[in-house]
Amino acid sequence: MRRRYFHKAIIITSFLLIIPLISTGTALAHKGHGGPGKVFMQEADALKTLLPGGGKILKRKEVLKKEKVSEAIKQWGYSPSEGTYTYFISKGNSGDLLGILFIQAIEYKHGSIGLAVGYDKGGHVSDIKILSCPEKYVKELSEQVQDNGFLEGFLHLATNEVINKAKDAGKESPESIRQVIANEIGNTSILLKAFQGL
């Protein structure tokens, strides 16, 4: 009798240990089906073109805490996830703020889209560039986001306006490429408000 229970225990334990390996393998095999990445602009070029010239560029890492996430959800209905975020600040010789740049990687279907959002010293969007995307989605990205003035609609807006515009775009079909990018642009404005108070 003991032997029978022992064999069942071994079978159940083996099964429980194998399940995570199988599910991880499936997820890893699924990721990357968007094909090789198409790079439109390198991160170094984004730093040069999306931040004002003549300033010293500083890389910052800050933590978005649970309280700020809750506050953002209460105020705007959505928020970036709790965690550490990296962004870049351009400062003049006297230490005054010239501009801020967020470079984000957005997960979209089977790959990642690189997005750069620049802000001026007053917290208005100064420029937005798509840095990269999976080759499979270049046409969709061009038609729905780049070639129809969608990104330009965010330019020169203050953070509150960007957040509201992104929220409106979020009402489009769930997980459309426009909705995903608009949401991330709105997230950068929430981060800017949380980290810099702009």
Tell me, yes or no, whether 53 and 89 share the same domain. Answer: yes
Tell me, yes or no, whether 82 and 4 share the same domain. Answer: no
Number of domains in the chain: 2
Range of the domain at 112: 37-196
DSSP assignment of the chain: -HHHHHHHHHHHHHHHHHHHHHHHHHHHHHTTTT-SEEESS-HHHHHHHHS-TTSEEEEEEEEE-HHHHHHHHHHHS--PPSEEEEEEEEE-TTS-EEEEEEEEEEEETTEEEEEEEEEETTSBEEEEEEEEEEGGGHHHHIIIIITTTTGGGGTT-BHHHHHHHHHHHTTSSTT-HHHHHHHHHHHHHHHHHHHH--
Tell me, yes or no, whether 142 and 64 share the same domain. Answer: yes
Tell me, yes or no, whether 21 and 67 share the same domain. Answer: no
Condensed to tens digits (0 to 9), the pLDDT of residues 144-155 reads 888 888 999 999
Tell me, yes or no, whether 69 and 157 share the same domain. Answer: yes
Q: Report the predicted TM-score, pTM, of the whole model to 2 decimal places.
A: 0.79
Tell me, yes or no, whether 46 and 133 share the same domain. Answer: yes
Condensed to tens digits (0 to 9), the pLDDT of residues 90-124 reads 999 888 999 999 999 998 887 899 999 999 999 99
Tell me, yes or no, whether 3 and 80 share the same domain. Answer: no
Tell me, yes or no, whether 44 and 60 share the same domain. Answer: yes
